[in-house]
Structure 1
């Protein structure tokens, strides 16, 4: 059995007060325990918060370029370990190797990006109403930030929260998801090697009910950033704001791709398949609804079925699409497949578990047709490789169907009509809107976030928006 990885608290690698550990299994072969981590409790979380609070002032006073140097060195260390980190991500989360390598590279790029941004931090200078007065603003760190991250992007999402928090001078406590915590621990290892001062970053593994709750409620914590399901995120938001914290929640999605009458059906099917079946459908921005004009509906369905059936399923190091991350995720996906069939949707392909891949957590790429807009398969987040195809008679109906959900994270349209494209950009109720592109995939230097139940609609992530969340403005009147 593997040795247990330790928590990172106050610059030391520590074991939990509970004395308990948690096992992480290979989603492609659940009989294989690939890693073991600390099953921490509230006492461990409290120690992490105290360490962060003690380190916060000194790190905040460190010049931005010096903070950037630490981030840049960490990026180099991650780059040197890219293959090792990719192997770890495949083993713990199950992603196909190409997707895992791309995610690791994204984390590296994020650290390089915010290393440079640390040197650019500043405020604005304004003209005062009277003479002999300097009037300007200063950006200061909020203090201690608590980061709660999910398993589906186990290195990229911790990186895009952690890098701007550190770049702007905050101390951090981080709780990664218990299903795949290893890549987040690897970020701590890189930062420790890069010379990050003790206590500035603290990583504690374990359940949300003890670790995350302690983080969110601690008096020393000033800001909370969460990514995960809407149900959990809404509870975390209420808990954080009730305790006076700055709060940023990015949550679920029910993301549509509208296929217009002018679209090429095969091109549209390729876009939808990439967005819907990439990362095994385990992305908050995954396309789960294809809203298709009746003129191209039949051709699109045939092409999408072909795309789904051409995907090779298997272990991440060998196939196009890997397993889902856990047995409970597979059960949830299969439950929605049963619900869709019972509601009256037609199973065009997939819908089952491959019978030649052992006990791995696999689900076939699945396409449903004859889906009505009010079916649960068209309204609720599935988080698996399932696409519901909805037929519409015109663009106005397509837009109405696209917006007729409780979520608003990502959306796209496939069209050759520029007027439709402009209308969709203006009227789509989503925080990310794309034209002739898949719903997944994000640039790291522009804001990311959703509308409605996809987000707290308070602060965006990434780029300058990430800087904004982790800083607070001070206005200075210097009457010299």
Structure 2
């Protein structure tokens, strides 16, 4: 029988008050029930919040190096469990094994990074305007924060929210996505094993419809950090802002890669292929639009189709090129968008069919799809699909390509493939995206630099990761001393 896991509240694993649970299944084989988790209610969330509030003062008053030592031990504990965490991530989310291993390593590195950053938390000294005075700043934790995380990076995203929050001295209530809660559960276990005091991190599982309200509107929640869809993120931001809470939401994307005539087409196809189809296209930074100069458009389409047709789709544990969708709902959404693209008049060059025979019988698989003859005003060119679907759009010149790239409500990640230095620099200056790259895929992020989007991709308040992650989770106090 599958194992049942509780919520983690005030240092103890406990059942939800309702006694109800839900199943987490393997998207590669839905007959494989990975585990059961608590179907929590608002009352369970409030218990977790109260535990975090009670632990707040003691944790905030610990010296930064002591907090950092715990984060460092948690990093080492996760490293010792890397194989277990990798396999669990594959079984609950569906990623290819190598992708999952890379994500777990990222979480390990994030905790080690913020363990070191905790040594430098302090302030700055400024020169006062008068004599016998001192003027300085001090960084302080906000208090108790809630983090709401998605299923597509179920260990990396919780890590890059948890680690800076804890390094800064905050207490946390974490709610993972119901499709993939095991990875966050493992992070919490590693923190507890590392000696984190009771109540500093609390973990509740269940539907957002039940837990969202207390986690965003409770009077003692000081900040909310959310990653997910634009529709839900907008609701979270509005609810949290009513109470004047600090809030950050990183949301959807419709990311372009521009391909210019000077590009090596083989390189461009590799960049687009990995960016569009890696992680089954289930990434907010996935390349969804290839905007290709007319001089190389046909050559690119032919090569892109060949690339897509060579992709191996299969169970994540076999380490294929592309794994399954995370759920039936996500699969249905991708298949619906493929039908929409055909109905809109785009040419489905390859892929787009559900795979359902043999090893695919009990999984959520689709063949990666490439559309050509796509107009930028089509829904498949404007709306986030979150599946392995690439729309190829023709551009007449660089200015047209840039206009097409920016003509979308999102602005998360974008790239250009070119050997022309002027084009590269113009693109970096004028692209409306929070992440801009030259001759690289739109996916993939360094952990020590800021991450976030423009337009409907973000609340455009605070960035995540690096020093920006600490900025969100701290308040600045200005101190005047007259002696």
Determine if the TM-score, normalized by the shorter chain, exceeds 0.5: yes
Partner of 2:399: 396
Q: CA deviation at 1:130?
A: 1.1
Q: Does 2:401 match 1:386? A: no
- 2:212 and 2:63 map into 1 onto residues whose CA distance is 30
Partner of 2:372: 369
- SS for the counterpart of 1:347 is strand
- SS for the counterpart of 2:355 is coil
Partner of 1:152: 152
- SS for the counterpart of 1:180 is coil
Partner of 1:310: 310
- SS for the counterpart of 1:317 is helix
- 2:2 and 2:30 map into 1 onto residues whose CA distance is 15
Q: 2:410 aligns with which of 400, 407, 412?
A: 407
Partner of 2:346: 345
Q: Does 2:143 match 1:143? A: yes
Partner of 2:481: 478
- 1:213 and 1:102 map into 2 onto residues whose CA distance is 34
So what's the TM-score if we normalise by structure 1?
0.99
- 2:367 and 2:326 map into 1 onto residues whose CA distance is 14
For structure 2, the 5+ residue unaligned runs are none
- SS for the counterpart of 1:129 is coil
- SS for the counterpart of 1:146 is strand
Q: CA deviation at 1:404?
A: 0.2
Partner of 1:234: 234
Deviation sequence 1:101-147 (CA, Å, 0-9, x none): 00000000000000000001011100111111111000000111100
Q: CA deviation at 1:3?
A: 2.6
- 2:134 and 2:243 map into 1 onto residues whose CA distance is 36
* Pairwise CA RMSD: 0.6
- 1:341 and 1:330 map into 2 onto residues whose CA distance is 17
- SS for the counterpart of 1:137 is strand
- SS for the counterpart of 1:151 is coil
Partner of 2:2: 2
Q: Does 2:149 match 1:132? A: no
Deviation sequence 1:259-288 (CA, Å, 0-9, x none): 011111111011000000000000000000
Partner of 2:45: 45
Partner of 1:219: 219
8 Å contact kept, 2:462–2:472:
yes
Deviation sequence 1:333-390 (CA, Å, 0-9, x none): 0000000000000001101012431121001110000000100000000000000000
Q: CA deviation at 1:320?
A: 1.7
Partner of 1:279: 279
Q: CA deviation at 1:180?
A: 0.4
- 1:202 and 1:359 map into 2 onto residues whose CA distance is 34
Q: CA deviation at 1:215?
A: 1.0
Q: Does 2:336 match 1:335? A: yes
Counterpart mapping for 1:53-132 below 5 A: 53-132=53-132
8 Å contact kept, 2:148–2:225:
yes
Q: CA deviation at 1:31?
A: 1.6
Deviation sequence 1:301-349 (CA, Å, 0-9, x none): 1111111111110000112211000000000000000000000000011
- SS for the counterpart of 2:415 is strand
Counterpart mapping for 1:169-248 below 5 A: 169-248=169-248
Partner of 1:293: 293
- 2:187 and 2:211 map into 1 onto residues whose CA distance is 19
- SS for the counterpart of 1:444 is coil
Q: Please identify, of 440-449 and 294-303, the stretch whose mean Cα deviation from structure 2 is larger.
A: 294-303
8 Å contact kept, 2:356–2:365:
no
Partner of 1:354: 355
Q: Does 2:429 match 1:426? A: yes
8 Å contact kept, 2:356–2:362:
no
For structure 1, the 5+ residue unaligned runs are none
- 1:41 and 1:244 map into 2 onto residues whose CA distance is 24
So what's the TM-score if we normalise by structure 2?
0.99
Over 4 Å off, 4+ runs? none
Partner of 1:322: 323
8 Å contact kept, 2:333–2:385:
yes
- 2:161 and 2:45 map into 1 onto residues whose CA distance is 19
Q: CA deviation at 1:213?
A: 1.6
- SS for the counterpart of 1:253 is coil
- SS for the counterpart of 1:4 is coil
Q: CA deviation at 1:212?
A: 2.2
- 1:245 and 1:41 map into 2 onto residues whose CA distance is 22
- 2:229 and 2:353 map into 1 onto residues whose CA distance is 24
